[in-house]
Amino acid sequence: MAFNFNWSPLIADTDRVREMLTSALNKSPKPPIIVDELIVSELNLGSSPPDLEILEIGDLAEDRFRGIFKMSYTGDAYLTLKTRVQANPLNTYLSTKPKFTRPDAVAASSGLTIPLQITLSDIRLSGFVILVFSKMKGITLVFRNDPLESLK
């Protein structure tokens, strides 16, 4: 069984996806060196779609769908993250220790935060995807394994 999907409307509006990624990245606790929210400032899904191989169609009806796919992606997608980081590692270390055990370093104990912008590109993915669609609940996409093979 084969199917085609048009990739261009999917890449046209990525604002909602950026907001959802930003929210997901900030749900769990961050290491103390990251002192601000992680923000997905730029997201480009690339010009080529992923390759999908249908492995199983579990539930197919007019208002719902469940399928398992093998997915691989070697396109030109990229995303840019922005945040602020603590550039003084001694300050980060000292903030995790009780006050009575800290050395008395005056200059080194002050914080120094700097902006950081990282662009992740040349993303290579390969894995198994479970896609569930329901008119009532929307779309759920779950990776069965860690799909990340490499990135720059």
pTM of the full structure = 0.71
* Residue 94 counted as domain residue: yes
pLDDT tens string 97-125: 676 666 666 555 667 889 999 999 999 99
Answer whether residue 56 is part of any domain.
Answer: yes
Domain around 63: 8-150
Is 2 inside a domain boundary? no
List all residues 6 or more positions away from 27 whose beta carbon is below 8 Å from its beta carbon: none
Local structure of 128: helix, strand or coil: strand
- Based on the structure, what is the number of domains in the chain? 1
Asked whether residue 125 is assigned to any structural domain, the reply reads yes
The average confidence (pLDDT) of the chain is 83
pLDDT tens string 9-54: 556 678 888 998 999 999 999 988 898 999 999 998 888 888 888 8
Go through the chain and tell me how many residues it has: 152
